[in-house]
Structures are given as C-alpha cells and as structure tokens.
C-alpha cells in the first residue's frame, strides 16, 4: 500500500496492549520524540488526526474513542462501516445523480465508492481540516479531475454560497467533540433545501454527544418540513437523517423494489433492506417526536425499532 512521499511521519508501536499495530502521526514544527507521542496517545492528547494501522486495515482517528474512517488494504474502495453503506440508500430515489456534494472527507470512504461506481456524477467533497486533506493519498482518495474534487472550506459556508443545484448532499462532518458546530450555527439547512433539485435529498450521519443534535434537527425540520426520517443503524451508535425535497416514501412500491434489486446486483449492497428500514424510519411529524427534547431523545435512548443487520 503506497504512502505519501510529501508528508513526514513519526511512527511508533501501538501503546495499547489490546490493540496491536502501529500509530503514525504527521510531523509538526514542535519537536516531539516518539516516546512522548506514545504517552500522549495513551492519554488521548494527540492534537491532530492520526493513523492507526494493522496488517489488515488503516484507520483515521481524531481521538481514541472512535474511528473516523477505515480502509481495508485488500479493498481500499470498500464501505466497511454499516452507516456508510446505508447512506448510499439515496440511490433508491435517484439512481443516477448528476451532482453530489459531500461535507466531510475523512478517509474518503463514501467519496471513493461514489467515484468508482457513479461514473456520471460530478462529486465535490468539502473538508475544513487541512490535516485530513493532507492524508488523502494515505487512503487512496482519487486525485482531482474533471468529475471529482476536494475543496478546503467550511462545509456550511460552502453550501450557503453555492449557486449550482445539487441532487444529493451527504454530510459526515465531525470535530473531536461531535457534529461539526457550524452546521447548526448558520443558515446551512435552508441553503441546502434551496440548492437541492426538485427530487434532491440530504443524508446526514448523526454520532457523538446528543447535545449537538437538537439544534441540527430543529433547523432541518424548519427547512424541510415533515419530509424527514430518522433511520437507526443497528450495531452502531449512528442514526441517519434522510431529508427529502418531496414527501418521503410511505410504503414499498413495486417500482422501488425493482430499483432496490437492480442496485443490489450492481453494487453488492443490501438495498432491499435499506428500503424497508427507510420506510420504517422515525418520522419527525409524529407527535411524540415533535418537540426538540423528544427529537434528541430519539437518539439518546435505546431505539426499540432498530433492526438486526
């Protein structure tokens, strides 16, 4: 697996006995020994993204508590995480999107998958963290070309300034403490709804402390009305928000089932199941989830409707 020749790395053996492997940290202007870095890693005090890798996979971390992104050496373009696979369910409603905008690059799992399989789509990925962009070669993210580019910018500001319409907006944007705060502290959701095409949709990954959920959900509801569904991801602490410009599906039609079967054969993902889970999603138009506190509770308590993956 190639490593970037432009970056200088400090590498040391994993300081965690239960997780054998190697830790790699980009060198900075501060002179730090490997021993000191290992101690900081144990204390979860590394101040910038780092790589943890085994013989099988490479992972990006912002902190020790959670994996930001993962890549298999045997298949760099595979979607490893359950939630990334389920985010691809937007294809059920638009199998041939013309323009996709992604907020949050990470290790590029969604970007690589879409670039490989959606050859007619123009893909723009917006990432605020320069260190994350600097790692793109480490995760085999494609070079910029006529249908793919990575933009260094704040995702909320980028969407607010956007003039062209988009068919799909995928959001997987976090800092060390949870959902990127700029998404809720702006006109982001109203801008997103305005710039989506007539049949466009937004798919957002929610993860981390629930304190940041309420404002995001309240603003999403103000922008999209009742066309929102929350879809839990079994086995993960993730919940996906699907926001539709049109009314969300209420039932599985023969047409949708046929689309799901075709997508499953082409992409080898379980689209028929994704379709069922979306149709069973938690609607924010339900009375029990209408208040902001109840919307947050939908994330923070065990969800009985969560399916077995």
Show which residues are catalytic.
172
Q: Report how far apart the first and last C-alpha atoms of the chain are (Å, whole number).
A: 31
Report the alpha-carbon distance of residue 197 to residue 217 in Å, rounded: 21
Residue 144: DSSP 8-state: P
Residue 90: name the closest of 199, 15, 193, 178 by CA: 199
Q: How far is CA 118 from the centre of its chain?
A: 17
Q: Which residues have a Cβ under 8 Å from the Cβ of 15 and sit 6 or more positions away?
A: 23, 38, 39, 41, 42
Report the alpha-carbon distance of residue 243 to residue 89 in Å, rounded: 12
DSSP 78-96: ---SHHHHHHGGGGGT-SS
Q: How far is CA 168 from the centre of its chain?
A: 13
- Specify burial of residue 91 (Cβ count, 10 A radius: 0-12, 13-18, 19+): buried
Structure tokens, 194: 């305005």
Report the alpha-carbon distance of residue 87 to residue 202 in Å, rounded: 10
Q: Which residues have a Cβ under 8 Å from the Cβ of 48 and sit 6 or more positions away?
A: 25, 26, 28, 131
DSSP 222-273: HHHTT-EEEEE-TTSS-EEEEEESSPPP-S--HHHHHHHHHHHHHH-S-HHH
Residues in the chain: 309
Structure tokens, 103: 């907020």
């Amino acid at each position: 697996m190639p490593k970037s020749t432009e970056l200088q790395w400090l590498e040391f053996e994993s300081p965690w006995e239960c997780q054998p492997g190697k830790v790699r940290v980009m060198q900075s202007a501060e002179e730090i020994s490997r021993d000191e870095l290992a101690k900081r890693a144990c204390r979860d005090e590394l101040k910038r993204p780092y790589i943890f890798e085994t013989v099988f996979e490479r992972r990006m971390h912002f902190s020790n508590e959670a994996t930001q992104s993962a890549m298999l050496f045997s298949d760099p373009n595979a979607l490893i995480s359950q939630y990334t696979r389920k985010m691809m369910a937007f294809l059920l409603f638009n199998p041939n999107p013309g323009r996709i905008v992604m907020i949050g690059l990470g290790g590029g799992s969604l970007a690589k998958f879409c670039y490989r399989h959606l050859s007619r789509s123009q893909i723009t990925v917006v990432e605020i963290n320069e260190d994350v962009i600097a790692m793109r070669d480490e995760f085999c993210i494609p070079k910029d070309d006529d249908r793919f580019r990575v933009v260094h910018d704040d995702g909320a500001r980028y969407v607010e300034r956007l003039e062209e319409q988009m068919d799909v907006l995928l959001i997987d944007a976090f800092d060390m403490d949870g959902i990127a705060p700029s998404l809720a502290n702006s006109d982001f959701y109203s801008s997103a709804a305005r710039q989506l095409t007539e049949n466009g949709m937004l798919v957002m990954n929610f993860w981390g402390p629930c304190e940041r959920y309420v404002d995001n959900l309240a603003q999403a509801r103000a922008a999209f009305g009742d066309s929102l569904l929350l879809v839990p991801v079994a086995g993960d602490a993730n919940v996906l928000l699907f926001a539709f410009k049109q009314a969300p599906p209420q039932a599985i039609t023969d047409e949708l089932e046929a689309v799901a079967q075709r997508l499953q054969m082409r992409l080898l993902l379980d689209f028929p199941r994704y379709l069922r889970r979306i149709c069973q999603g938690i609607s924010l138009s339900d009375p029990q989830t209408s208040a902001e506190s109840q919307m947050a509770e939908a994330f923070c308590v065990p969800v009985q409707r969560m399916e077995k993956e």
